[in-house]
Chains A and B, each alone.
Chain A
Amino acid sequence: MSLTNEKIKEKLVGKFGDQVGNFEESFGMLSFSAPKDMNLKVLQFLYDEPDLSFRFLTDLCAVHYPDKHDAELEVVYHLHNLKDNVRLRFRVSTPVSNPDLFTATKLFESANWMERETYDFYGVNFLGHPNLVRILNVDEMDYFPMRKEFPLEDQTRIDKDDDMFGR
Chain B
Amino acid sequence: MPRPVRFNINADVKLVKEGPEGYMGEGFFATGFDKVVGLARKNSIWPLPFATSCCGIEFMATMGSHYDLARFGSERVGFSPRQCDLLMVMGTIAKKMGPVVKQVYLQMAEPRWVIAVGACASSGGIFDTYSVLQGIDQVVPVDVYVPGCPPRPEAILDGVMKIQDLVGKEELRRRTSERYKGLLESYGIQ
Contacts and interface: CB of A to CB of B under 8 A. Distances in A.
B7 interface: no
A154 B129 contact: yes
B95 interface: yes
A: contact size bracket: 10 to 19
Contacts, number: 30
Interface residues of B, number: 9
B176 interface: no
Interface string A120-147: 0000000000000000111001000100
A69 interface: no
Nearest to B97: A138
A136 B130 CA distance: 12
Contacts of B124: 154, 157
B3 interface: no
Contacts of A154: 124, 128-130, 132, 134
Contacts of A152: 128-130
Contacts of B10: none
Q: Interface majority SS on B: helix, strand, loop or mixed?
A: loop
B86 to A, nearest CB: 25
A84 to B, nearest CB: 39
B134 A157 contact: yes
Contact of B128 (A137, A138, A150, A160): A160
Given A154-B124, A157-B134, A138 B129 contact: no
A140 to B, nearest CB: 9
B95 A138 contact: yes
Q: What 10 A-B pairs come out closest when comparing CB atoms?
A: A145-B130, A153-B128, A157-B134, A138-B95, A154-B134, A152-B129, A138-B96, A154-B130, A154-B128, A154-B129
23 contacts: A136-B96, A136-B131, A137-B95, A137-B130, A137-B131, A138-B96, A141-B130, A145-B130, A145-B131, A150-B130, A152-B128, A152-B130, A153-B128, A153-B129, A153-B130, A154-B124, A154-B128, A154-B129, A154-B130, A154-B132, A157-B124, A157-B134, A160-B128
